[in-house]
Amino acid sequence: MIELRTPAEVEEMRPAGRFVASVLEATSRAAAVGVNLLELDALAHEMIRAAGAESCYIDYHPSFGASPFGKVICTSVNDAVLHGLPRDYALRDGDLLTLDFAASVNGWVSDSAVSIVVGTPRDGDLRLIDTTQRALTAGIAAARPGNRIGDISRAIANVAKAEGYSINTDFGGHGVGRTMHGDPHIPNDGRPGRGLPLKPGLVIAIEPWFLETTDRIVTDADGWTLKSADGSRGAHSEHTIAVTEGDPIVLTARS
C-alpha cells in the first residue's frame, strides 16, 4: 500500500534522515586501509545505541535472504554492490566500498547509501561512482508532481547509458515510511510517463547502482551479498526523498 505523508509527518521524518546521514559520514571517514568491515559495523551499531535508534537490518529476513541479516550496515566491496554482509575482512588500498544504511528514529525510517574508494583510487572506480551520483541527482530532479515513476527511472537510465553502463532492474528504489521497504518499486530504467503518478507526500528511496561491465548479479555464499556475475566492480548511491509541491526534500542529505 502506498501512503502519502502530510507536511507535518515529513518534518517528523527529518531526524531519521539526519541520523542515517551521520552514520554514513562517520563510517566513510573510518573506512581506511587496514580497517575491518566488522569494525565499521560495530561503529554503526554503537551510534544506533547512542541515538536510541533502531536498526532496520539486524532482524531483516526477506525471501531473498538466507537468514536474518544479523548486522546493522551493508558493506559491499569491489565486485559486491548490494546487501554486502559485513565479514572479517580488512580493507585494502584501492578497494571500492559501498556503505548502505537504514534506521528508524521515533518510528520513521530513512535509507541511504554511498560508494567510496579506500586509499588510492582507480579512474574506472571514480567514473562509476560519479555516474551513480549524477544518476541519483537526475532521479531526484524528476521526482515532482505531474511526473510518474517512469520519469524517475528514465532519468537515472539516461545518465547510466550515456556512460555505457547496462542496467539491472531487479533491485531499485522503494517506498519508505514506518518500514524500510514499501511500495512503489522504482527501477533504475523505465518508460517516461508510465507508472504511479507522483504526488506531494510520497516518500521514496531512489538508488541507482551500476556494475562496470555487466548487469547480471549472483548471490555470494553468505546468502546475502550480491556480486557482479563477471567480477567487475559496482557502485551505489541512494537518498531518501520526499515529493513536495515544489523541489523534492532530500531527507538523508550529507554535509
Tens digits of residue pLDDT in 158-197: 999 999 999 999 999 999 999 999 999 999 999 999 999 9
Per-residue pLDDT, 112? 98
pLDDT beyond 90 at 96: yes
pLDDT beyond 90 at 63: no
Percent of the chain with pLDDT over 70: 100
Tell me the three-class secondary structure of 160-229, residue by residue. Answer: HHHCCCCCCCCCCEEECCCCCCEEEEECCCCCCCCCCECCCCCEEEECCEEECCCCCEEECCCCCCEEEC
Predicted structure pTM score: 0.97
**Binding site as annotated, residues:** 83, 100, 111, 174, 181, 207, 238
**Binding site as annotated, residues for a divalent metal cation:** 100, 111, 174, 207, 238
Q: What is the grid cell recorded at 250?
A: 532530500
**Binding site as annotated, residues for substrate:** 83, 181
Per-residue pLDDT, 129? 98
Contacts for 2-5: CB closer than 8 Å, 24+ residues apart: 2/175, 2/182, 2/183, 2/184, 2/196, 2/202, 3/175, 3/177, 3/182, 4/199, 4/200, 4/201, 4/202, 5/177, 5/201, 5/202, 5/203, 5/242
Per-residue pLDDT, 255? 86
Q: What is the grid cell recorded at 61?
A: 529476513
- Compute the mean pLDDT over every residue in the chain, rounded to the nearest whole number: 97
CATH homologous superfamily for the domain 7-250: Creatinase/methionine aminopeptidase superfamily (3.90.230.10)
